[in-house]
Amino acid sequence: MRRVLLVLLCSSCATSPEAPLSNAQLSGAPDVRAASAKPGFVSYGAPYHKWTISFAGQQGCGASTLAAIELNTLASVTDVPIGTISVRTLETTIPSLPSAYIRYMNGTVVSGTVTIESASSGFVVGEVTSQLMINGTATDVSGSFGAPVCPE
């Protein structure tokens, strides 16, 4: 009986929102090894749909976030935007859609782009290239991710 229970537990793990395993790397952040994507909504004077790509040191939807990318679209557009998206410099001011914002080490965004290469079967793949002011120093921050979609 215990073996049957163990098999059932393991088979449910294989279909969790955290499978397949993620992968990620981010320059200047050697602890980043994993990523996850999560949908949601936000209001910056108007309602927007958002996708948050979280960079973490371990696998899982609940892992501690070391850096994050927020992708915004109209509230009625819930698909992950595909292609190259400009990174905005102010978190709550969205000049055009789709739009992106980066949170990393309390840095201030100078410029950048996020490219979403694919978003299908519950998995988002892309890369980021940006420049942030971190502790008064212009710092290039780039990386890539393959992130499973986590539940809202």
Query: pLDDT of 55-86, one tens digit each?
Result: 999 999 999 999 999 999 999 999 999 999 99
Dist. CA 8–CA 1, nearest whole Å: 11
Domain range for 143 is 16-148
Specify the number of domains making up the chain: 1
Q: Does residue 6 sit within a domain? A: no
Structure-block tokens of residue 2: 């215990």
CA 85-96-76 angle, 5° bins: 90
Q: Does residue 74 sit within a domain? A: yes
Confidence at residue 2, expressed as pLDDT on a 0 to 100 scale: 39
Q: Does residue 73 sit within a domain? A: yes
Dist. CA 35–CA 145, nearest whole Å: 6
pTM of the complete model = 0.85
137-148 and 123-134 strand pairing: antiparallel
| pLDDT surpasses 80 at 40 | yes
What would the pLDDT profile of 47-56 be if each residue is shown by its tens digit? 999 999 999 9
Q: Does residue 80 sit within a domain? A: yes
Q: Does residue 2 sit within a domain? A: no
What would the pLDDT profile of 98-134 be if each residue is shown by its tens digit? 999 999 999 999 999 999 999 988 999 999 999 999 9
Q: Does residue 7 sit within a domain? A: no
Dist. CA 46–CA 135, nearest whole Å: 31
Dist. CA 149–CA 151, nearest whole Å: 7
Structure-block tokens of residue 51: 């996708």
Q: Does residue 8 sit within a domain? A: no
